[in-house]
Amino acid sequence: MKELLKQYAAYNIWASQKILDVIRSLPEEKHIAEVPSSFNSLMKTVLHMWDAESVWWQRMKLQDRLIIPSEIFKGNMKDAADGLLQQSKQWEEWIKNASDLAIDHVFQYQNSKREQFKQPIYQMVMHVFNHSTYHRGQLVNMLRQLGVEKIPQTDFMLWGRSKK
């Protein structure tokens, strides 16, 4: 399980970096332009991705009071992208150093509705990476709607091929 999680952590950073590089190259008005999606701009989607990775990190660390990055964010797209990537690198580093027992550990947390749950860490980590993949797909769609034609492919298989 650990090797798979290490690969997904590295892939998550690689794929996000590729999409974020394209987004950062756009003018600021495209970052905040309204585009139909779950979150109606590139900026709001990137902030949501950062929020999610950060909230799950804090839950895993058993923090009582969660800090939501977007609620205190005052920066630009570069800052949001850097924050997301920094959080993703924390996940990668944690997985690299985690024992099998830590990865299999069942932890208890509460969601935003204050409902209590227990799950193994590895399931939560897989959710974090799957969630980011889902929203990267939305970012690609939003980029197309904004007229961006050169969008990198970010399939896991391409990442795997690039590691040989």
What CATH number has the domain bearing residue 89? 1.20.120.450
- Hunting for tokens 């197309």 — which residue is that? 144
The number of distinct structural domains making up the chain is 1
> How many angstroms from the chain centroid is the CA of residue 89?
10
Residue 162 pLDDT class (50, 70, 90 cuts): confident
Judge contact between 117 and 109, C-beta under 8 A: yes
70 inside domain: no
pLDDT for 99: 96
Phi, psi of 119 (to 5 degrees): -155, 155
Q: What is the pTM of this model?
A: 0.94
pLDDT for 112: 84
31 inside domain: yes
72 inside domain: no
Q: H or E stretch including 117? A: strand 116-120
Copy the structure tokens of residue 84: 């997301």
pLDDT per position as a tens digit, 35-61: 999 999 999 999 999 999 999 999 999
71 inside domain: no
89 inside domain: yes
93 inside domain: yes
- Cα separation, 66 vs 79, in Å, equals 20
Residue 146 lies in domain:
2-64+77-162
- In order of 20, 65, 79, 95, the CA distances from 82 in angstroms are 9, 23, 5, 20
